[in-house]
């Protein structure tokens, strides 16, 4: 994993609801796409993309004091308490730039270099794109030999598809999935803080909360007809949104193989300018049309 020369970045980011916003300026090595279990569970996405900064400054524009965080084994995962978007940790030192979630930056130039890390932890329905630099764990040159963490222990039902949040408070199960889709709309990217969302769809009658339903909070985008995210209030992980007729499940939170793969990419007209779709799945400029 050769670290390339840096490129200058001057970018503004925000959470889905807009309460938290920030301005990052500095020298970046590029983007890493992390497939580890903890990143997937927190965001609900197939992988989380991070901007790697060598040096720079993060200026908070709004909401710094409201940011909540959940402590994991090695770090803290910070999120907006209103909409649960994964945002930077609010260090007092503005010159301390951690790797920041690329999905919160709607306007950003494509990176000169990108890497796919912890691919051995990828979801069974995720394929690593051909021709990219990928590492099953992590390359020796990357961030002081980041250790491989143990698999999260979750109580599973062998008959059903299972899922849970990062902290384990919220868990759920379902059967008979009716579809799975990658969505590139700006709202999904902000809510997942990722390149795109991947959602599993099941009928409401085929879904069941196993634990923690009282800890699920919701945020609805005011100007949207229906767009709402559900999340665990304790750790900020995205969890299923139950509607009257169906349930939208952030597929990154699944603990077991749903037995299907994404049918394609929707809303690619809104695709992140820094992300390239490299598979052969069908693409729709807006929503899905049969």
Q: pLDDT (tens digit, 9 = 90+) per residue, 188-235?
A: 999 999 999 999 999 999 999 999 999 999 999 988 778 999 999 999
Alpha-carbon distance values, 122 to 47, 65, 98 (Å): 8, 34, 23
According to the model, what pLDDT value does residue 80 have? 97
Q: List the structure tokens of 60.
A: 């908070």
Domains and CATH numbers, the chain: 7-134 (2.170.150.70), 161-270 (2.170.150.70)
Phi and psi, residue 169, nearest 5°: -65, -45
In terms of DSSP bridges, do strands 48-62 and 21-34 run parallel, antiparallel, or are they unpaired? antiparallel
Measure CA of the first residue to CA of the last residue in the chain; give whole Å: 42
Q: Look up the pTM and report it.
A: 0.91
Q: List the structure tokens of 101.
A: 């979630």
Residue 148 CA to residue 136 CA, distance in Å, equals 10
pLDDT at 21 over 60: yes
pLDDT at 272 over 90: yes
């Amino acid at each position: 994993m050769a670290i390339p020369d840096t490129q200058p970045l001057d970018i503004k980011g925000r959470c889905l609801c807009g309460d938290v916003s920030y301005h990052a300026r500095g020298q970046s090595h590029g983007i890493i796409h992390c497939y580890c279990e903890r990143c997937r569970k927190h965001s609900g996405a197939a992988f989380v993309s991070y901007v790697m900064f060598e040096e720079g400054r993060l200026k908070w524009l709004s909401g710094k004091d409201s940011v909540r965080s959940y402590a994991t084994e090695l770090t803290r995962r910070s999120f907006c308490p209103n909409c649960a978007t994964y945002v930077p940790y609010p260090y007092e030192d503005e010159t301390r730039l951690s790797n920041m979630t690329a999905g919160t930056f709607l306007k950003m130039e494509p990176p000169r270099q990108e890497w796919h890390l912890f691919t051995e932890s990828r979801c069974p329905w995720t394929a690593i794109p051909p021709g990219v630099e990928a590492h099953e764990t992590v390359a020796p040159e990357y961030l002081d030999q980041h250790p491989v963490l143990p698999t999260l222990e979750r109580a599973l039902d062998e008959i059903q598809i299972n899922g849970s949040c990062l902290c384990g408070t919220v868990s759920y199960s379902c059967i008979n999935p009716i579809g799975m889709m990658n969505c590139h709309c700006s709202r999904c990217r902000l809510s997942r803080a990722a390149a795109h969302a991947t959602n599993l769809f099941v009928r409401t009658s085929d879904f069941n909360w196993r634990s923690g339903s009282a800890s699920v909070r919701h945020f609805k985008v005011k100007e949207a007809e229906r767009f709402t995210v559900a999340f665990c209030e304790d750790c900020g992980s995205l969890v299923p949104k139950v509607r009257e007729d169906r349930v939208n499940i952030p597929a990154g939170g699944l603990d077991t193989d749903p037995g299907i793969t994404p049918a394609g990419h929707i809303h690619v007209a809104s695709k992140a300018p820094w992300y390239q779709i490299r598979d052969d799945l069908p693409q729709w400029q807006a929503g899905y049309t049969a």
